[in-house]
A and B are shown apart, each in its own frame.
Chain A
Amino acid sequence: MSADESAVDDAPRSSMDDVIDCYKKNVDRTLLREALALTPGQRLQKLVDLLRAADALREAGTRAFR
């Protein structure tokens, strides 16, 4: 294994892991389970659709409150 490859080896548990554990309590796992049922391509298509919808909403809001 090269030095480069060893850079991605398992690291020992650090204090940051405790911080991440605290944040993990707020993760909505039902959404993750839904996403895991899809293919990677379907997941990205959902992302693209969501971003398009958000942009359309932002533009509509800008026009409405101009």
Chain B
Amino acid sequence: MTDFERLLRALGAGGVEFVVIGGLAANAHGAIRTTRDLDIVYARTAENHTRLARALAPLHPYLRGAPAGLPFRLDEPTLQAGLNFTLTTSAGELDLLGEVAGGGTYQALIPHSRRLDLLGTTCWCVDLDTLIRLKQAAGRPKDFEALAELVALREERDRPEP
């Protein structure tokens, strides 16, 4: 099971600039569907790449689904050369996204995010409207049920008190 608390704490303590998106953000907003990985959009700066690599090093990040023994190392040059990384760590599954369809970069998402206390770590979490737009932009059939739940959630949230 992914230890969300440990992953968020590592990122927060390491001073990493990131925004939580995906299933955990959906749960923070009130969605019921469960998720088993943490999706974040990280700032694409050299300083943040260094912080990210340092923060995750104790969790032994490795490419998810890749054969064992590959010479993979999540360091600043690797982050600089790549963009999106689907990782497995000793604290569970983690997706690092440099850009996301429908939302762009970390800098683009910040105005559409809120600071929330998530399992003991205060961090940016994308707002519900933007989360819906991201899911729509992904356009994956497997997301239709999750997207319907998010739209219903927004309707319930915005429903006037009886």
A residues engaging B (CB < 8 A)?
Answer: 2, 4-5, 7-8, 11, 14, 16, 19-21, 23-24, 26-29, 31-33, 35-36, 38, 40-41, 43-45, 47-48, 50-52, 54-55
Contacts and interface: CB of A to CB of B under 8 A. Distances in A.
| Contact size range, B | 35 or more
B9 interface: no
Given A8-B130, A36-B157, A44 B119 contact: yes
Contact of B109 (A8, A33, A41, A54): A8
A55 B151 contact: no
A48 B27 CA distance: 10
Contacts of B147: 20, 23
Contact of A35 (B1, B32, B34): B32
A20 to B, nearest CB: 5
A-B complex: 8 closest residue pairs judged by Cβ atoms: A4-B108, A23-B148, A35-B30, A4-B104, A40-B28, A27-B152, A24-B148, A7-B104
- Secondary structure of the A side of the interface? helix
- Secondary structure of the B side of the interface? helix
Given A2-B108, A16-B136, A48 B153 contact: no
Contact of A19 (B1, B144, B149, B152): B144
Given A8-B102, A20-B144, A52-B1, A28 B108 contact: no
A43 B27 contact: yes
